[in-house]
Amino acid sequence: LMTAGSLNTFLGSLVGAVSGGNASAGEVAVVVQLDQTNENGSERTTANEQLVRDNERFAEEARIFTDAYDRLSGASNAEGQGWKLTTSAPLIVPHNVAGSMYRSADLQTGGELADGDYALYAQMSYIDDASFDEYARSLGLDPSEYYDPEHPRAIGVSRCYGNDGSRYQLMEALQGTGEAQVLSSAVYQDRYPAHITMQPEATSNNEAAKWSIGAVASSVAADDIEGKMLALDEVDYVSTGLDIAALAEEPPAVLGKVGDHLCLVMPVSLAQGQAFGLTAPAFAGEFDSRDGDHAALAEELAKSSTTFFSEECPYDLAFSAYNDHIEERESVQMMATIVNVFCLLFTVILALIALANVFNTITNSLILRRREFAVMKSIGMSNKQFRRMIMNECMSFGIAGLIPGLIVSAGISYLLYLVVGESLGGLTFTLPWGYVVLAIGMTAVAMAASVAYGMHRCKADNVVEALRADSI
């Protein structure tokens, strides 16, 4: 029972890790991304001009998705829980701001630059204003301080849950506040858009490799340039300051799962004046069903979303989907449930066999010792003394069995903890005390029933009959 309880506890932790650690804000999510129209490079441009165009496009998409969320929230069975726009961006973060996870050689989302600062990819998350205001207030912050496009500020999620190369664990993404630089738009040869890249440099020893920043020419460039790896000084690029003004240990509910990367949270209204040259944001609206039928809600939202974006959106869809979070959680938990049920059934079978053995051993021991008991009674042992003797014997049997059993079970539970801990960091060892109490209780009940039956059989015989039966 203790082993089954430990397995159930540790499997629950693994399921939580696979699920991302955070519950989703709604039962169903609608996820949409619009097709991006790239410049063909036929006209000369600068990084600043490219930044202005990208910001205008991002702001327009934010307005479109605002209308989409309002329309979807008006569905008959839908109750809106908030929405978000997310995309990735390359950042340079001061060394006293970047968290310890970026010092790991196995992490692929960022690392240390030669000058001591850190280059990393961050999830830039714009959430609806109502959700942001509620989130900021829950942290004791003034939401109004985060709406100024001239001095953009963000709340940084200081912890994230992910794989550091060897196991899943909570990792420190930020250790302090400070100003980061968002590497925004880049242009190659005053014509072709380019994408900022960050990667570790080659190293010949076991030390963590230093990271470097470069660029790659986009797919709209000429054939001999497309995909060309470039040094940062070969492109015209713009960096925009972003003040990471506050830290939070957990992301807002509307963001749901956060992987092994830094997450910065801002209100969506900020995107109207400051979008950092970000492109291709993914929209996700979270909804609950009014009547509890999440499957029907998913179908209704899928139809409403298709209608809105096909009839009222000026851009084509890159993709559109819906996520039934309830169904996803049930699917993830199903395997753990199957394993737990199998283990519990196996445990119940073993427990029944053990209880039967206890009952058989104790009752036979009492019955086979009738002559001994008869002799004791013949020399003056009272019924009260007899019952006390039997109870003391049974208690000694129980203690002699429980203590080694508990020690062995605790050892097995600790081995399970070590095995699971190889893949899941931050796991705390604990004994399944509920199962411990259940095991002790079942043992006590089995022994009490055995003693009661055995003593009943012993009482049925008087002294003379017991001695006569034993001599035959």
222 phi/psi in degrees, rounded to 5: -60, 160
Q: Do 436 and 22 form a contact (C-beta atoms < 8 A)?
A: no
Domain ranges (residues) in the chain:
35-280, 332-471
Question: CA–CA separation, 216 vs 168, rounded Å?
Answer: 32
Question: CA–CA separation, 373 vs 369, rounded Å?
Answer: 6
Assign 320 to helix, strand or coil. Answer: strand
Exposed e or buried b per residue across 121-160, where buried means at least 16 C-beta atoms within 10 angstroms of its C-beta? bbbbbbbbbebbbbbbeeeebebeebbeeeebbbbbbbbb
Question: CA–CA separation, 131 vs 266, rounded Å?
Answer: 10
DSSP label of 471: H
Q: Do 354 and 1 form a contact (C-beta atoms < 8 A)?
A: no
Q: Do 83 and 283 form a contact (C-beta atoms < 8 A)?
A: yes
Cα 68 to Cα 30, 84, 106, distances in angstroms = 10, 12, 40
Token representation of residue 74? 């008006």
Token representation of residue 95? 């060394």
Partner residues linked to 204 by β-bridges: none
DSSP label of 174: B
Sign of CA dihedral 81, 87, 92, 95: positive
Q: Do 35 and 318 form a contact (C-beta atoms < 8 A)?
A: yes
Chain mean position to CA 26: 16
Q: Full-prediction pTM beyond 0.75?
A: no
Q: Do 270 and 126 form a contact (C-beta atoms < 8 A)?
A: yes
Helices and strands in the chain, H and E counts? 9, 15
Q: Output the tens digit of pLDDT for each of the chain's 472 residues.
A: 777 777 777 766 666 555 555 556 678 889 999 998 665 555 678 889 889 999 999 999 999 999 999 999 988 888 889 999 999 999 999 999 999 888 876 777 888 898 899 999 999 999 999 999 999 999 999 999 999 999 999 999 998 877 655 666 778 899 999 999 999 888 888 877 788 888 887 665 656 678 888 888 776 556 567 677 888 888 899 999 999 999 999 999 898 877 778 999 999 999 999 999 999 999 999 998 888 888 888 888 888 998 999 899 999 999 888 888 777 777 767 776 777 777 778 778 877 887 788 778 777 777 777 777 777 777 877 878 877 887 787 778 777 877 888 888 888 888 888 877 766 666 677 788 887 888 788 878 877 877 777 677 666 555 555 555 555 5
**DSSP structure string for 300-311:** HHHHHHHHHHHH
